[in-house]
Amino acid sequence: MTEPYKLLFVCLGNICRSPSAENIMNHLIKEAGLEAQIYCDSAGTSGYHVGEKPDRRMTMAANARGIEMKGRSRQFDRYDLEEFDLVLAMDRSNYQGIVALDTAGKYEHKVKMMCSYCREHSDQEVPDPYYGGADGFDYVIRLLMDACEGLLEEVKGELG
């Protein structure tokens, strides 16, 4: 059997946006019956929340749409650039933090902005809802659902 296509979602603390993207994507992958072909993980560019579960407000927003939130925060590591086929940054700051670890410029082609896969939303970045209210968490779930649906279509094309 061939190796699964590996996706890594990255935000700042790995408790709101990136675990949401990971769990939404896993939900869509399961619906499509592609669990053996696509693997997802998430990480944060900072180590602020290492070992923590996803933010409870994000979990509530995801659960309201039938998405189960699993996982624990971990910090992004430069070896992730070798390990994953595609690294998806939630915002420009995350993107810069990721490519800064690629000192030889060998993996920059693998690093993409999450919103580049949106089909309905025109956002360039996934906003960080951490310091806002419930509406921000709901919006991020809708935005990531859009981006993940577009990303899944692209990955399915890669898989043939």
pLDDT in tens, the chain (160 residues): 589 999 999 999 999 999 999 999 999 999 999 999 999 999 999 999 999 999 999 999 999 999 999 999 999 999 999 999 999 999 999 999 999 999 999 999 999 999 999 999 999 999 999 998 989 999 999 999 999 999 999 999 999 8
Type of residue found at 92? R
Within 8 A by CB and 6+ apart from 146, the residues are: 118, 119, 120, 121
Among the options 128, 138, 146, 148, which is catalytic?
Answer: 128
Query: CA 123, CA 118: separation in Å to the nearest integer?
Result: 8
17 belongs to the catalytic site: yes
The predicted structure's pLDDT at residue 103: 93
Query: CA 160, CA 118: separation in Å to the nearest integer?
Result: 21
128 belongs to the catalytic site: yes
The predicted structure's pLDDT at residue 1: 57
Among the options 16, 17, 41, 57, which is catalytic?
Answer: 17
CA angle at residue 151 from 146 to 157, to 5 degrees? 135
Give strand ranges (E) for 38-79: 38-44
146 belongs to the catalytic site: no
Q: For residue 69, what is the DSSP state? A: P
92 to each of 11, 29, 55, 97, 124, how far by Cα in Å? 10, 26, 22, 9, 9
Dihedral sign of CA atoms 139, 41, 102, 106 in order: negative
